[in-house]
Amino acid sequence: MSLEVPSFEAFEAALADVVTAHVPGCSALLKVERLSGGASQETYRLTVERDGIEMPLAMRRTPGGEYLEPLPAHPGLDVEAQLMQAAKAVGVPEPEVYHVLTRADGLGDGFVMEWIDGEALGARITRDAKFESIRPTLAKECGRILAQIHSIDLDATELRPRLAEMTPKQFLAQMLERYHAFGERQPMIDYAGRWLEEHLPTPARLTLVHNDFRAGNFLLTPTGISAVLDWEVAHIGDPMRDLGWICTNSWRFGSALPVGGFGEYQDLFDGYSEVSGIDVDPEHVKFWEVFGSFWWAIGCLGMAEHYRSGPDQSVERPAIGRRTSECQVDCVNLLIPGAAELVVAPGREVAEMPSQRELIQSVRDYLRDDAMVNLKGRSQFLARVAGNSLDIVLRELALGGQHQVEELDRLQAYFGTGDDLITLRSRLAEELREGSIPLSDERIQAHLRTTVVNQIAIDQPNYSGFKRAQSLR
């Protein structure tokens, strides 16, 4: 249900009433700033007068001040606030939550909390010189924090009835169901899904799982992690999910270091064991690392589905959809590493004035050189996305479909039929799902590796997973 706020002035007045009533020592609201970032929730920086001193606070609320019904996968911001305070009680760095919004406040669902300084951008955390001294110990610190999170007593905190519980088998089934509902046939996703089914762990315990612990969802200072944020997808499940997720290549930001782009596996494991007293099984973590790439590969397809079905036809959606190939090449590198030959582009296209390539280049250059200069904020970002999408089209045009010709040749030779590419792709996906093709089939492994590597060469040749795959040639 949407909350109707007649004006920003009314919103500001309601917010002023909240902070002066619920933040100790706060006498006035001086300024309200909506911050960028946050894919699913709004974040604000509030400047207040507190005990005679000007200082910042933060507010997190639902988009547009909505009142949302809690769902198992998204229990709500009031539960998120409760999670943060439970984590704070066991030593996890967290901001103080001053007030959870109620209907009487007239601001929607959300909460007001302490402002914590720190860097959230993963690329800066992995590269900025000011974090050089902390990076060697950061993986171990992450391990310690995750062990603290997993130690939270779900019954004493009364969190258990407010969170969904998912075993690894249930989590995998949920993702496979979502993937199958798209009607997509991406054989590497089916291969990874089969591998996950055959390697399901049986965790000794189910704990609170943050479910999105990575650079971008914690704040870092030169002395360490200052706050763990974004608990909105927390659940009760296998604690190793959190350790595998921070090792997923998508969150390494181009670095070769496996833990968040800043540390080694063993440092993460040592930090976890130091606090929990539990030895970490690397193969158990690998399951969740593979799952992380598999999960995000399906999530990217979901973005494309959103575009096709109409709820959000932003230029960003199909661009993210193409990123499924990034996650698929990560699965290749984890499950079937090896050599893969790149398709050679055919000869130059027949000279035309203007050619397809020239038309697309002209639009791309306009977006980058003219439009982006005169745009700001999200519009500027979307212009950059549009330019990147045209780069994908240009790379695909340069190959003239040769990558699909060779994919078809391999599948026709394997199945011994003259069926078309879509039919054979679907057949391969179905037989991988059903188990009639063994995962150890070397011809299929080579086919998937070659197909995925050539697709990422088109979609994102600068992706670290593609470079890793190329190093094996």
CATH number at residue 210: 3.90.1200.10
pLDDT value at 364 more than 50 = yes
Residue 35: the pLDDT is 83
Q: Are residues 136 and 271 in the same domain?
A: yes
Q: What pLDDT is stored for residue 349 in this prediction?
A: 60
Residue 317, pLDDT > 80, answer yes
Is the N-terminal amide bond of 95 cis, ω within 30° of 0? no
Quick one: 144 and 64 in the same domain? Answer: no
Distance from C-alpha of 334 to C-alpha of 330, rounded to nearest angstrom: 6
Question: Cβ(86)–Cβ(157) under 8 Å?
Answer: yes
Any domain includes 344: yes
Co-location of 151 and 13 in the same domain: no
Q: Give 36's pLDDT tier (boundaries 50, 70, 90).
A: low
The closest alpha carbon to 259, from 211, 209, 214, belongs to 214
- DSSP for 72-110? SS---HHHHHHHHHHHHHTT---PPEEEE--GGGTS-SE
pLDDT at 472: 67
Give the per-residue SS3 of 382-397: HHHHHHHHHHHHHHHH
Q: What is the pLDDT of residue 414?
A: 97
Here the tokens at position 51 are 């005990």
Mean pLDDT for the chain? 92
Whether 317 is in a domain gets the answer no
Residue 345: how many CB atoms within 10 A of its CB? 13
The domain tally of the chain equals 3
Higher-pLDDT residue of 87, 370: 87
Show Cβ contacts of residue 50 under 8 Å, excluding neighbours closer than 6 positions: 23, 24, 25, 26, 27
Nearest to 105 by CA among 13, 30, 26: 13
Q: Choose the weakest-confidence range: 81-95, 164-178, 297-311.
A: 297-311
Q: Are residues 132 and 107 in the same domain?
A: no
| Residues 446, 371 share a domain | yes
- For residues 79 and 434, give the distance between their C-alpha atoms in angstroms, rounded to a whole number: 40
Q: What percent of the chain has pLDDT over 70?
A: 95
- In terms of domains, do 79 and 187 share one? no
pLDDT range class, residue 347, cuts 50, 70, 90 = low
39-58 residue pLDDT tens = 568 899 999 999 999 999 99
Contact in structure between 289 and 246 (CB atoms under 8 Å): no
Structure-block tokens of residue 82: 């409760």
Q: How confident is the model at residue 2 (pLDDT cuts 50, 70, 90)?
A: very low
1 pLDDT higher than 80: no
Q: Which of 161, 147, 196, 150 is nearest to 176 (CA)?
A: 196
Rounded to whole angstroms, the Cα distance separating 391 from 386 reads 9
- Residues 256, 262: contact at Cβ < 8 Å? no
Sign of the dihedral through C-alpha 124, 314, 44, 1: negative
Give the pLDDT confidence score for residue 376 in this predicted structure.
84
H-state helical runs in 400-471: 402-415, 421-434, 442-459, 464-470
Q: Which of 56-70, 330-344, 418-432 has the lowest mean pLDDT?
A: 56-70
Predicted pLDDT at 3 = 45
Q: Which of 95, 114, 133 is the last residue of a domain?
A: 114
Which one, of 334, 306, 333, lies nearest residue 321 by Cα? 306
Same structural domain, 412 and 434 = yes
pLDDT for 76 equals: 87
Any domain includes 316: no
Is 155 a member of any domain? Answer: yes
What confidence score (pLDDT) does residue 67 get? 74
Strand-pairing partners, residue 110, are 61
What is the per-residue pLDDT for 125? 95
Shared domain for 106 and 246, answered yes or no, is no
Do 329 and 466 touch, CB atoms closer than 8 A? yes
Cα angle vertex 202, ends 199, 208, to 5°? Answer: 120
- 246-294: pLDDT as tens digits: 999 999 999 999 999 999 999 999 999 999 999 999 999 999 999 999 9
Residue 330 in any domain: the answer is: no
- Shortest CA distance to 277 belongs to which of 336, 204, 328? 204
**Greater pLDDT, 254 or 8:** 254
DSSP bridge pairs for 295: none
**Is a pLDDT exceeding 90 seen at residue 81?**
yes
221 close to 259: Cβ distance less than 8 angstroms: no
CA distance 174 to 189: 14
Q: Determine the pLDDT at residue 351.
A: 61
> What domain range is 391 assigned to?
336-470
Residue 242 clears pLDDT 90, i.e. is over it: yes
- Per-residue pLDDT of 190-224, as tens digits, reads 999 999 999 999 999 999 999 999 998 999 999 99
**37 lies in the same domain as 135:** no
Give me the amino acid identity at 308.
Answer: R
Same-domain pairing of 424 and 367: yes
The single-letter code of the amino acid at 83 is L
Residue 132 has pLDDT above 80, yes or no: yes
Query: What average pLDDT score do residues 380-402 get?
Result: 92
